[in-house]
Structure 1
Amino acid sequence: MLPKVNQFLFLQVASSDEEEAAVEYKSRIADENDNELLIEIPVLEGTGRYKRLFLGDELSAYYLSSDGVKHYFNSHVLGLKEDVVRLVRIQKPDPESITKVQRRHFLRVGSELEIAIKLSAHVRFVGITDDVGGGGISFLCDGKWPIKSGTELECWLLVPYRNGSIEHAQFKAEVVRVKKMETGRNQVMAKYASITDGERQKIIRYCFERQLDVRKR
């Protein structure tokens, strides 16, 4: 069952700041088309504070059915539309992806990008990502490096865009899990521990472009 025009949506927005990521905003569906929901600018109830959304922002949303059951889905921002009031265009969920159980995984895309890592003042090396997203990354590196759960890494990710430009996204990441591969390499899964909104937007823009490319195949 898809959400309908005039229904309220309750949203959380992916952020490297755990407190901000936990904040719930309220919006209303103002219009829809085949692929999009057009929603009002989300607001924090009780304060009247609006949440500014950007292209590629990842959303965890739910709405209430007539019998009061919460229906969850994940989405992302496609852009803005200037109407009588400014509306936010978000991806309409696939009906099969809507669930009664919240799943806080945000958009991640499989991609082999070069990542430079500083482990300590004297230890630096290069790895290759196997997926990247707005909330964290996973990469492969030589198994000789002393990385374990909880290790903090200083990272520089090479981010190429469809128009041929290249950016470097800088951030600090905390290792969540390390998996030893049969090849002797390690697969390192990490979440962003410290990243500015600007640097995170570089990564989300890449994920958004990558997802569009995959859909066109």
Structure 2
Amino acid sequence: MKKTVIFFYIDYPINEKTHKAHFLLDGQKLSLTSIWNDQQLVRFETTVVGRRKEKIPMIVIKRPKEDQYVKVQRREFVRVMSKLDLAVHPFVKDFNPFTSFTHNISAGGLSFENSSDTLFKIDDKIKIWLVLPFSKELQYLHVKATVKRIENKQINVQFINISEKDQQTLLQYCYFTQVQLRIKGLKYE
């Protein structure tokens, strides 16, 4: 009986510091992490077996056997580095609203620069107005959040009672941003 070898096709990996594509050699061993349909993060070992050129260049890797996947605990949502304008308003605690910018964002929360004199504490509730730039349009979101971590002037918050529609918009923005970074990385290499 002939064995069928199944392959995965992946995008060229992008160096997070340089945002440029990293080229892989045939036979090179890799340790990869992937998100599956059920949002489960898995890690596995594989080998580069070739390249394929479609609309974008792809790497061909050997698919491991089912027992070679290792499930990994992770954040609930993908987080991307992104500098977006936002406005912060009081929810319960009284302070003067102010504008600032994000450091990173996900469908579950974000971190922003505290550009005011407001002293935040863990579990403080705030309202955030946010502008998400997509390729041809802007999306405006108004979300409630709770402060989860404070590091100097950087405030990390988790969204609370966020609508499914707003969460989907945030997910789309994060994936859109990742794709744009990959395109830039491939373009300049």
- Normalising by the smaller structure, the TM-score range is 0.5 to 0.7
Consecutive unaligned residues of structure 1, counting only runs of 5 or more, are 1-30, 37-57, 63-71, 74-94, 181-185
Structure 2, gaps ≥5 residues long: 1-5, 12-36, 44-62, 64-68
Distance in 2 separating the partners of 1:112 and 1:156: 14
The 5 Å alignment of 1:1-217 reads 34-35=9-10, 60-61=39-40, 72=42, 99-119=70-90, 120=93, 123-142=96-115, 144-163=117-136, 165-180=137-152, 186-216=153-183, 217=185
CA deviation digits over 1:2-32, x for unaligned, max 9? xxxxxxxxxxxxxxxxxxxxxxxxxxxxx98
The letter for the 2-side match of 1:199 is D
Whole-Å separation in 1 of the counterparts to 2:85 and 2:38? 27
**TM-score normalized by the length of structure 1:** 0.53
Per-residue deviation at 1:204? 1.4
SS at match of 2:120: coil
Cα distance change, pair 60–153 in 1 and its aligned pair in 2 (3 A) = same
- Distance in 2 (alpha carbons) for counterparts of 1:32 and 1:193: 40
Q: How many residues are treated as equivalent by the alignment? A: 131
Normalized per residue, the structure richer in strand is 1
Query: Could you tell me whether the CA contact under 8 Å between 1:118 and 1:125 is conserved in 2?
Result: yes
Kindly name which structure, 1 or 2, has the bigger radius of gyration based on alpha carbons.
2
TM-score with structure 2 setting the length: 0.60
SS, match of residue 106 in structure 1: coil
Does the 8 Å CA contact 2:88/2:98 hold for their aligned counterparts? yes
Find the counterpart in structure 2 of residue 24 from structure 1: none
Higher relative contact order (CA 8 A, sep 6+): 2
Identity %: 25
Q: Which moved more, 1:186-195 or 1:119-128?
A: 119-128
